[in-house]
Structure 1
Amino acid sequence: MAAAEVSTLRPIKLLKIGQLAKLTGISARNLRFYADTGVFGELPRSPKGYRLFPPEAMHWVRMLRAAQAAGFTLEEVEHLLRALRQDTVPCQHVRQALGEKLSALEAKLSEIQLLVEVLRITLNTPDGANSELGCNLMEILLAQAERLPALARA
Structure 2
Amino acid sequence: MGTITSSRAEAFSIGELSKHSGVNIETIRYYERIKMLPAPPRTANGRRVYGPAERRTLAFIRRSRDLGFTLEEIRALLALGGPERASCADVRKIASAHLASVRSKLSDLVKLESILSETVAQCSDGPSPDCPVLDILDAGRQSD
Asked if Structure 1 and Structure 2 have the same fold, meaning a TM-score greater than 0.5 normalized by the shorter chain, the answer is yes
Structure-2 residue corresponding to 1:80: 77
Q: Give unpaired runs (5+ residues) of structure 2.
A: 1-7, 140-144
Structure-2 residue corresponding to 1:100: 97
Structure 2 residue matching 1:56: 3-state secondary structure? helix
Cα distance change of structure 1 residues 140 and 32 upon mapping to structure 2, 3 Å threshold: closer
Deviation, 1:74, is: 2.7
Matched, 1:123 2:103: no
Radius of gyration: which is bigger? 1
TM-score, normalised to structure 1, is 0.58
The answer (yes or no) to whether the contact 1:122–1:140 under 8 Å persists in 2 is: no
Structure with the bigger RCO (C-alpha within 8 Å, sep 6+) is 2
Cα distance change of structure 1 residues 21 and 114 upon mapping to structure 2, 3 Å threshold: closer
Aligned equivalents of 1:47 and 1:124: distance in 2? Answer: 62
Cα distance change of structure 1 residues 82 and 16 upon mapping to structure 2, 3 Å threshold: farther
Aligned equivalents of 2:80 and 2:20: distance in 1? Answer: 24
Superimposed CA distance per residue, residues 69-99 of structure 1 (whole angstroms, 9 cap, x where no aligned partner): 11122332222222235x9534323222221
TM-score, normalised to structure 2, is 0.61
Q: Give unpaired runs (5+ residues) of structure 1.
A: 1-11, 146-154
Q: How many residues align?
A: 127
Matched, 1:91 2:88: yes
Matched to 2:88, the amino acid is C
Structure-2 residue corresponding to 1:65: 62
Aligned equivalents of 1:32 and 1:138: distance in 2? Answer: 43
Deviation, 1:57, is: 1.9
Aligned equivalents of 1:114 and 1:55: distance in 2? Answer: 45
CA root-mean-square deviation: 3.9
Aligned equivalents of 2:67 and 2:18: distance in 1? Answer: 22
Aligned equivalents of 2:28 and 2:60: distance in 1? Answer: 13
Structure-1 residue corresponding to 2:37: 40
Cα distance change of structure 1 residues 81 and 13 upon mapping to structure 2, 3 Å threshold: farther
Deviation, 1:119, is: 1.6
Structure-2 residue corresponding to 1:135: 130
Aligned equivalents of 1:22 and 1:137: distance in 2? Answer: 47
**More displaced, 106-115 or 26-35?**
26-35
